[in-house]
Structure 1
Amino acid sequence: MKQSRAQLLHPSLFGVWLGVGLLWLLHWLPLPLLAALGNGLGWLLAMRPGKRKRVVATNLALCFPDVAEATRRRWLRQTFQASMRAALEYGVLWWGSEARLRRVVRIDNPEAARGDGKRPVIWLAPHFVGLDMGGVRLTLDHAMASIYAPAKDPVSDRFIRRGRTRFSDIVLIARHEGLKSTLNAIKSGRPFYYLPDQDHGRHNAVFVPFFGVPAATVSALPRLARLTNAQVVPVVTRQLPWGRGYAVHFYPPWDDYPSGDLDVDVARMNAFIEARVREMPAQYLWLHRRFKTRPAGERSVYE
Structure 2
Amino acid sequence: MKHKHRKQERDLDYSHYLHPRWWPTWLGLGMMWLLAHLPLRWQWGLGKLIGEMAWRCIPKRRHITEVNIRLCFPELSEPEQKRLVRKSFHANGIGMMEIGLAWFRDPGVLMDITTVHGLEHHEQALARGKGILLIGGHYSTLDMGGCLATQLMEADVMQRDHNNPLMNAVMTRARQRHYGVVLDSKDLRGLLKRLKMNRTVWYATDQDYGRKGIVFAPFFNIPTGSITATSRIAERSGCAVMPFSHFRRENSLGYDVYFHPALDDFPTGDDLEDATRVNQTIEQEIRRHPDQYLWMHRRFKTRPNQDDPDFYGKYGKTGGSQKKHTHHD
Write the distance in 1 (CA, Å) between the matches of 2:213 and 2:231.
12
1:291 aligns with 2:261: no
Q: 1:25 aligns with which of 24, 34, 38?
A: 34
Q: 2:86 aligns with which of 77, 80, 96?
A: 77
1:161 aligns with 2:191: no
Residues 115 and 233 in structure 1, CA contact (< 8 A), matched pair in contact too = no
**Deviation for aligned residue 1:106:** 3.7
Q: 1:206 aligns with which of 211, 215, 225?
A: 215
How do 1:72-221 and structure 2 match up within 5 A? 72-97=81-106, 99-103=108-112, 105-116=114-125, 117-119=127-129, 120-167=131-178, 170-177=180-187, 179-221=188-230
SS of 1:216's equivalent in the other structure is strand
**Deviation for aligned residue 1:81:** 0.6
Write the distance in 1 (CA, Å) between the matches of 2:113 and 2:19.
35
Q: Match of 2:318?
A: none
Question: Judging changes above 3 Å, is the alpha-carbon distance between structure 1 residues 289 and 5 closer, same or farther for their aligned structure 2 residues?
Answer: same
Write the distance in 2 (CA, Å) between the matches of 1:2 and 1:294.
37
Write the distance in 2 (CA, Å) between the matches of 1:106 and 1:249.
9
Residues 204 and 218 in structure 1, CA contact (< 8 A), matched pair in contact too = yes
Count of aligned pairs: 301
Write the distance in 1 (CA, Å) between the matches of 2:108 and 2:292.
26
Q: Match of 2:253?
A: 244
How do 1:41-60 and structure 2 match up within 5 A? 41-48=50-57, 50-60=59-69
The CA deviation string for residues 108-132 of structure 1, in whole angstroms up to 9 with x for no partner, is 3322223442142111111111121
Write the distance in 2 (CA, Å) between the matches of 1:12 and 1:104.
40
**Deviation for aligned residue 1:239:** 1.5
**Deviation for aligned residue 1:48:** 3.1
SS of 1:176's equivalent in the other structure is coil
Whichever residue aligns with residue 300 of structure 2, its letter is F
Write the distance in 2 (CA, Å) between the matches of 1:31 and 1:81.
15
Write the distance in 1 (CA, Å) between the matches of 2:96 and 2:158.
20
Whichever residue aligns with residue 122 of structure 1, its letter is L
Write the distance in 2 (CA, Å) between the matches of 1:37 and 1:104.
20
**Deviation for aligned residue 1:232:** 1.4
SS of 1:67's equivalent in the other structure is coil
Write the distance in 1 (CA, Å) between the matches of 2:122 and 2:81.
34
**Deviation for aligned residue 1:101:** 4.2
TM-score by length of 1: 0.92
Whichever residue aligns with residue 123 of structure 2, its letter is R
Write the distance in 1 (CA, Å) between the matches of 2:150 and 2:193.
19
1:38 aligns with 2:47: yes
**Deviation for aligned residue 1:242:** 5.4
1:223 aligns with 2:232: yes
TM-score by length of 2: 0.85
Write the distance in 1 (CA, Å) between the matches of 2:62 and 2:223.
22
Residues 241 and 262 in structure 2, CA contact (< 8 A), matched pair in contact too = yes
Whichever residue aligns with residue 307 of structure 2, its letter is G
**Deviation for aligned residue 1:14:** 3.6
Residues 133 and 239 in structure 2, CA contact (< 8 A), matched pair in contact too = yes
Greater shift, 55-64 or 102-111, is seen at 102-111
Residues 98 and 143 in structure 2, CA contact (< 8 A), matched pair in contact too = no
Write the distance in 2 (CA, Å) between the matches of 1:12 and 1:103.
41
Write the distance in 2 (CA, Å) between the matches of 1:145 and 1:167.
9
Residues 12 and 173 in structure 2, CA contact (< 8 A), matched pair in contact too = no
1:279 aligns with 2:288: yes
**Deviation for aligned residue 1:240:** 1.6
Question: Judging changes above 3 Å, is the alpha-carbon distance between structure 1 residues 3 and 122 closer, same or farther for their aligned structure 2 residues?
Answer: closer
Write the distance in 1 (CA, Å) between the matches of 2:101 and 2:45.
15
